[in-house]
Amino acid sequence: QVQLQESGPGLVKPSQTLSLTCTVSGGSITSDSYYWSWVRQPAGKGLEWIGRIYASGDTNYNPSLKSRVTMSVDTSKDQFSLELSTVTAADTAVYYCARVVTGNKWYIDLWGRGTLVTVSS
Amino acid sequence: DIPMTQSPSSLSASVGDRVTITCRASQSISDYLNWYQQKPGKAPKLLIFAASNLQSGVPSRFSGSGSGTDFTLTISSLQPEDFATYYCQQSYSRAAFGGGTKVEIK
């Protein structure tokens, strides 16, 4: 059974870079059937799609975050990562990593449990 | 990108009620529309993909319909475990989620 697990610092200072890693267990990140995504959710608010990455390294980002987001993948470790630069308090949220079923009509079929990242000095 | 608008933002219903949630796209997205359920403190769960396809393991009381700009999630007979927040998400152009609909106990 495939599982996703987010890891990374729970506290980041303003103006610094938020870095998170998602480890895929029970399956391979290089499967042709899937690619990988990050979604975040501020406390009490809705979901915001951050972007997606293929095992090849190709990416698509939310235009509103594109200038600050970098996603990468490490196929040798079955991990993919998120970096969000120049963070502010508005970036405080639960960050989820997720598996996306490929195809034109793609969708997220598996989520990590989420990790809370707080931006504060 | 294509923003999504859900309505209502919240509703109160009783067990056994038929519940309908609407999601509207700012432009046509064909049937590139997914629905998720989220309970407090938990990750979202996929219910419906491509507007009307029930995800494996999801009870048949959930159904989705629509195409173009207007979509509906219907719960035919609300059960106690269905009290949650529901989100639509378009996958036509990158991605965007609706603002959510919280289904509360009446």
Residue-wise pLDDT for A34-73, tens only, equals 999 999 999 999 999 999 999 999 999 999 999 999 999 9
Does A109 score more than 90 pLDDT? Answer: yes
Considering only CB atoms, which chain A residues are within 8 Å of B49? Answer: 101, 105, 107, 109
Residue B1: per-residue pLDDT: 82
Q: For residue A106, give how far its alpha carbon lies from the nearest alpha carbon of chain B (Å).
A: 6
Does A103 score more than 90 pLDDT? Answer: no
Which residues, given as ranges, of chain B have pLDDT below 50?
A: none
Residue A104: per-residue pLDDT: 79
Q: Give the whole-number percent of chain A exceeding pLDDT 70.
A: 100
Partner B contacted by A65 (CB < 8 A): no
Does A32 score more than 90 pLDDT? Answer: no
Q: Give the whole-number percent of chain B exceeding pLDDT 70.
A: 100
Pick from A107, A109, A113 the residue to mutate for testing the B interface (most B CBs within 10 Å).
Answer: A107
Residue B64: per-residue pLDDT: 98
**Integer-rounded Cα radius of gyration of chain A:** 14
In sequence order, the 6+-apart residues with CB closer than 8 A to the CB of A58 are none
Binary contact (A109, B55; C-beta < 8 A): yes
Contacts made by residues B47-52, CB under 8 angstroms, sequence distance 24+: B47/B73, B47/B86, B48/B73, B49/A101, B49/A105, B49/A107, B49/A109, B50/A105, B50/A107
Q: Which residue has the tokens 């989420």?
A: A114
Does A14 score more than 90 pLDDT? Answer: yes
